Structure 1
Amino acid sequence: MSTTSKPLRKLGFLTIGLFDEADPRRGHESTLEIIELGEQLGFDSAWLRHRHLQYGISSPVAVLAAASQRTSRIELGTAVIPLGWENPLRLAEDLATVDLLSGGRVNPGVSVGPPMHYDRVKQALYPDTAETEDFSFERVRRLLDFVRGERASDFSGMEGFEVFSDRVQPHSPGLGKRMWYGGGSLRSARWAGENGMNFLTSSVVKAEGNEEGGGEEAVVDFAEVQLSHVRAFRAAHADGGEARVSQGLVVIPTDGATSEQRAKYEAYVAKRLPRTVAPQGPARLLFAPDLVGTSAEIAERLHEHVAFREIDEVAFALPFTFDHADYVQILTDIATNLGPQLGWRPAV
């Protein structure tokens, strides 16, 4: 069996934080309990997805603020906050505040583009500016500037009895180096590198740059496409090969699963498998197959994955629709079986 070029250095997980509309508190509490468990198991990081007008976490920064007070070591990230829904200056204030409360453990991941279903939500979101909002990389650049301490106002000093700053307050000095861009294309990978960000690459990429043959029968390999993005990012980054990249595939180890859980997991993966066969939709999105099986089986498949061999950080994505007990089993197996087989050692 082939091996990775270097041991896995950082192991994290990603959750969507689903909840029942009739009892949303229970779902959020479950997410916080999972993060606490992650710290106990030695995971290096826990990441939250972001969902608007759905039954998942709509305010990950608020949830991370709560998690920061129930943990002491594990890093806390977002993967990702879609900036089309955000005011960069206000978000910079929230991120710096939570980063300070956490002791410098926040890793904000962001992306750009128009909000999902923009035509249906734009009047509620931007009733006066819907047609002029800028959803380009410039929105990320504004956030980076504010987080890194660039001026946000042309005034500072005293006004009456109040003191004003010309930059976002509070300022968290280390946060600027912990900003991540979640991208699935060569363009976004290069932009993240050129702007000194870290790079999140997930189980979805745009099928580009790696086709054998042509036309409808062209073969596109997910791992090779993802590898091209990782290399493009590092080639554009000042840190070169040391620039941070985290990979976010879906892995479901079954070492400690019951027979009922294994059947559920295999059915979940089988249902999602057809979308991985070929690029999907006008954007030609390519999905990675979910990895289900024993930790030894998953480790072997990861060692064969050319993009995985290029990185030493992961944030494995938890399946969206499972139960709390399933997540406990999956995380426990990842930390106690899969992680060590990838060369990882639990944090203490």
Structure 2
Amino acid sequence: MPLTSEPLRKLGFLTIGLFDDADPRRGHESTLEIIELGERLGFDSAWMRHRHLQYGISSPVAVLAAASQRTSRIELGTAVIPLGWENPLRLAEDLATVDILSGGRLNPGISVGPPMHYDRVKEALYPDTADVEDFSYARVERLLAFVRGEAASDFSGTEGFEVFSDRVQPHAAGLGRRMWYGGGSLRSARWAGEHGMNYLTSSVVKAEESEDFAEIQLSHIRTFRAHHPDGERARVSQGLVVIPTDSASAGQRAKYEEFVAKRTPRTTTPQGPARMLFARDLVGTSAEIAEQLYSDAAFREIDEVAFALPFTFDHDDYVQILTDIATKLGPALGWRPPVAD
């Protein structure tokens, strides 16, 4: 098996946190238990997707606040918060609060663009300003400014018995360096680099200069680092769907293989007007998955991952998959769990 120049340094996972409309608490509790399991297994980070008007967690920041009180070491991230649904000032306050509660473990991942199905939701979301809302990178710049401690008001001082600050409170020192941009295009990679963010690259990219997924993703990573102040040291995390089967039952293996088979056709050619290209899900033993990853040009360029859990599986499936990733796949990629205190 070929080796990369550097072993995998940070091992993370991503979950969407699905729930049943008839019993939403159970799904949310399952997600928290999975994050707790991730910490016990030694994972470096746990990330949550953001889902609005669906049966997936709509407020990962709130759930991560809860997770921060049930864990002590694992980093907690969002991958990603679509900023089109958010007020940057209010979001900055929430992110800073959770970062303080977690002891500096929050890694907010964000993206821009209009909310999904905007024409159907804009009257509920922005009834008075829907047609003038700015969903460009300027929205990210506002959030970054507030998180990094720039002024949000032209007033500070005492008024009566109350004391006011001109910047977001609490101020979470260090949070500005842990802001991630979730991108899938050359433009987003360059923008994130120029603005000193970290970069999340997932299993979806825009087929701009090629139709080879790994080749496209590699070009995004190199473009990002070429425009980042830290150059080759700039942080990039790759997120692919990997499903190790080392300890899976026969029934689980059959389910996993069926899941991958149904999703594979979309990986053969770019999809839709935006020419989005999907990576093939990786299923098999940890040794087989490691070999496929080492043959991936983009994977060889990074030393951090946030492997995505399949969205529709059961709690027991996630336990098995995470356990195999931490005990089999991670070590096969050169990763080692942190040494217990």
TM tier relative to shorter chain: over 0.9
Q: Which residue among 195, 219, 234 is the counterpart of 1:228?
A: 219
> Which segments of 5 or more consecutive residues in structure 1 lack a partner in the other structure?
211-219
User: Which residue matches 2:258?
Assistant: 267
Flag as ranges the 4+ runs of structure 1 deviating above 3 A.
none
* Cα distance in 1, alignment partners of residues 4 and 299 from structure 2: 8
The aligned amino acid for 2:26 is R
Q: Aligned with 1:108: secondary structure? A: strand
* Cα distance in 2, alignment partners of residues 184 and 2 from structure 1: 27
User: Which residue matches 2:247?
Assistant: 256
The aligned amino acid for 2:331 is P
> What pairs with 1:36-185 in structure 2 (closer than 5 Å)?
36-185=36-185
2:289 paired with 1:298: yes
Q: Which residue among 288, 313, 329 is the counterpart of 2:320?
A: 329
Cα deviation per residue 1:66-117 (whole Å; 9 max; x = unaligned)? 0000000000000000000000000000000000000000000000000000
2:277 paired with 1:289: no
* Cα distance in 2, alignment partners of residues 51 and 5 from structure 1: 37
Cα deviation per residue 1:288-308 (whole Å; 9 max; x = unaligned)? 000000000000000000000
TM-score, normalised to structure 2, is 0.99
Give the drift of 1:42.
Answer: 0.2
* Cα distance in 2, alignment partners of residues 228 and 236 from structure 1: 12
Q: Aligned with 1:273: secondary structure? A: helix
Q: Aligned with 1:261: secondary structure? A: helix
Give the drift of 1:171.
Answer: 0.2
2:209 paired with 1:209: yes
Q: Aligned with 1:35: secondary structure? A: helix
Cα deviation per residue 1:109-162 (whole Å; 9 max; x = unaligned)? 000000000000000000000000000000000000000000000000011110
Q: Aligned with 1:79: secondary structure? A: strand
Give the drift of 1:5.
Answer: 2.0
User: Which residue matches 1:17?
Assistant: 17
Q: Aligned with 1:34: secondary structure? A: helix
User: Which residue matches 1:278?
Assistant: 269
Q: Aligned with 2:155: secondary structure? A: coil
The aligned amino acid for 2:48 is L
> What pairs with 1:311-326 in structure 2 (closer than 5 Å)?
311-326=302-317
* Cα distance in 1, alignment partners of residues 265 and 228 from structure 2: 35
Report sequence identity in percent: 84
> What pairs with 1:190-209 in structure 2 (closer than 5 Å)?
190-209=190-209
Give the drift of 1:209.
Answer: 1.7
Cα deviation per residue 1:276-334 (whole Å; 9 max; x = unaligned)? 00000000000000000000000000000000000000000000000000000000000
* Cα distance in 2, alignment partners of residues 256 and 269 from structure 1: 18
* Cα distance in 2, alignment partners of residues 4 and 209 from structure 1: 25
> Which segments of 5 or more consecutive residues in structure 2 lack a partner in the other structure?
none
User: Which residue matches 1:214?
Assistant: none
* Cα distance in 2, alignment partners of residues 154 and 275 from structure 1: 51
TM-score, normalised to structure 1, is 0.97
Q: Aligned with 2:55: secondary structure? A: coil
2:10 paired with 1:29: no
The aligned amino acid for 1:99 is D
* Cα distance in 2, alignment partners of residues 160 and 139 from structure 1: 34
User: Which residue matches 1:215?
Assistant: none
* Cα distance in 2, alignment partners of residues 85 and 307 from structure 1: 31
The aligned amino acid for 2:313 is F
Give the drift of 1:4.
Answer: 1.5
Cα deviation per residue 1:154-194 (whole Å; 9 max; x = unaligned)? 00001111000000000001100000000000000000000
Q: Aligned with 2:11: secondary structure? A: strand
Root-mean-square deviation (CA), in Å?
0.4
Give the drift of 1:64.
Answer: 0.2
* Cα distance in 1, alignment partners of residues 333 and 228 from structure 2: 26
* Cα distance in 1, alignment partners of residues 74 and 273 from structure 2: 39
* Cα distance in 2, alignment partners of residues 49 and 131 from structure 1: 27
Give the drift of 1:3.
Answer: 1.7
User: Which residue matches 2:299?
Assistant: 308
